Amino acid sequence: MKFHSTGEVSKMLNISVRTLRYYDQIGLMSPNKKDEHGKRFYSDEDLLILKKITILKMLNLSLNNIGKILSKITMEKLLYVHRDYLQQKMEGYHASVKHTNSLLNSIKLEGDLKWEQLIPLIQEDQTKGSADEKWNKYFGLQEQVTLKGNLPKLEQDNPQVRRWINLNRRIELCLKRGDSPKSEEGQIIAEETLFLSEELFEGDEQLGDKFFEIRKSPEKSREINLYPVKEKVLDFVEEAIQLFEENMHVK
């Protein structure tokens, strides 16, 4: 039978020597062999037990509870438990990626973010249930299906999201330059907005009007977790669209 010293086990399993000694002191994991000087030596079977302890610790179990179940849990059950733990970690990582994409796209929209603006974005998942109830307040079931299926989601990075972001940035540039909604650029923006809105609302003008009214209210937008759009941006595009449609009727 091959034995390993405390130092070797520490390196192999990434467990500190102090922790190995503590496990021995409390009776959780005592090595298979000790020499006359008290030096510890671990067998391959001991290593397996230490690996089990490591996995169970990852589940936030106390050492006391680990000691109670250690001899009862089979390798198959342990693997199932570890698989569930890994799946939870993966879901957490996916959520983190979504939040990071939201922040990156928000920076593209705003140019910069203040710390206080990050909190509602990061807490979005925690308020999702409450937001879903608010959706019922403003939209019917079919309207929600249409909007939730088509609305650009900042946590994603795809052409649809980038088109809306670029449209917003073009409006910001118009405002910065002092271009009016009736300028050539303003009218191009209006036409592009109508085109994107046709896709978003699937031709339902009544739904589009209802959504835009909510969009103009920062409070209602926050209630249903919509990213806030600046009032001056909404005013610009509203006036630009009104002028564009008037010109279309004249022609």
Q: Choose the weakest-confidence range: 60-64, 96-100, 107-111, 178-182.
A: 107-111
Residue 172 lies in a domain: yes
Average pLDDT over residues 114-135: 58
Name the strand (E) or helix (H) holding 34: strand 33-34
Evaluate whether residue 107 is within a structural domain: no
Work out the pLDDT band at 190, boundaries 50, 70, 90. very high
pLDDT tens digit sequence for 61-96: 788 888 877 767 666 776 777 777 778 778 777 777
Q: Give the pLDDT score at 145.
A: 84
pTM exceeds 0.75: no
- Boundary (domain end) residue, out of 63, 92, 115: 63
Percent with pLDDT over 70 in the chain: 84
Where among 14, 48, 63 does a domain terminate? Answer: 63
Total tally of structural domains belonging to the chain? 2
Residue 71 to residue 73: CA distance in whole angstroms? 6
> CA dist 162 to 126, 157, 169, 175, 210, Å?
26, 7, 10, 20, 24
CATH number of the domain encompassing residue 48: 1.10.1660.10
* Boundaries of domain holding 172: 126-250
Which whole number is the average pLDDT over 208-223?
A: 88
Same-domain check for residues 150 and 51? no
Q: Does residue 83 lie in a domain region? A: no
